Chain A
């Protein structure tokens, strides 16, 4: 059990490092919109969803537009339904309480690492919480500190910090590479998401990109046997 806990810690720290500048950036942006450090702490602890939190801060006015905030959060996090459905069959060693508590803090990074782990090992609660607890604490601390320090940090773009998540996600996609089907998935998801972002704006791009990526995988997988037969013919 201690081994799995340490494995989780060992796997999550690059994602934690990538999350540090993002956490500071989030806190600083939230402070600029008038949210107090306490409100940032409460939001990070209860919601714990980077993309949705950034979008919420973008939408935030005084008084808070509750419906718009909840709707945007629901749309951006709709992918979690698919993610938890994919993860659920791999949680065999978890009690119901461990599932309900563990999934509360399921984000893109720890979920992706758990999926990667499940391809070669049995997924244990020790591994999951070894990933999740440090990652959650990192997000709480950096976002709250960011809100406290606020605008004094300067422009995070200058250091390229805003690009850390993009590079991290590209690296994570490589871990899921399964050849031709993945290629079409990535191409369709990328183009659909970027186009939707330009034409309709956030949060629709996540939904459109994910949907087109899945559709592309479904189509590409259907043509697989034919393609193999063609290659086999000299």
Chain B
């Protein structure tokens, strides 16, 4: 078990940067007086961020991943969370095997 001082410094820097982004919203939130249009953009933050994080895996990896993402999206219209994860994982394994 080792803890290299340079590595520790890097980890601390990453931790401070991350925490700063997580509490910045506390200072921002009270000052925002949003128009209906801006409110719609604000409400779109969750799906926009979630999709931006996974798009490379879903759209820029290969056809099996894109196909499995489409199947998971279809499953998401009618199945609960964990079932969607199961369908997606099974689909990607199956598609990788045949494609």
Contact = CB atoms under 8 A, between A and B. Distances in A.
A167 B52 contact: no
Interface in B14-60: 14-26, 28-30, 32, 36-38, 40-60
Contact of B49 (A35, A210, A216): A210
A194 B55 CA distance: 5
Contact of B47 (A17, A73, A185): A185
Interface residues of A, number: 98
A217 interface: yes
Contacts of B50: 108, 112, 169, 172-173, 176
Interface string B67-99: 011001101110111101101111011001000
6 contacts: A86-B45, A88-B30, A160-B92, A168-B88, A209-B53, A214-B45
Main secondary structure of the interface of B (DSSP, over half): helix
Main secondary structure of the interface of A (DSSP, over half): helix
A38 B60 CA distance: 34
A56 B38 CA distance: 33
B65 to A, nearest CB: 7
Contact of A85 (B11, B15, B28): B28
Given A217-B43, A218-B41, A79 B55 contact: no
Given A64-B6, A163-B68, A18 B85 contact: yes
Contact of B19 (A104, A115, A173, A206): A104
B22 A164 contact: no
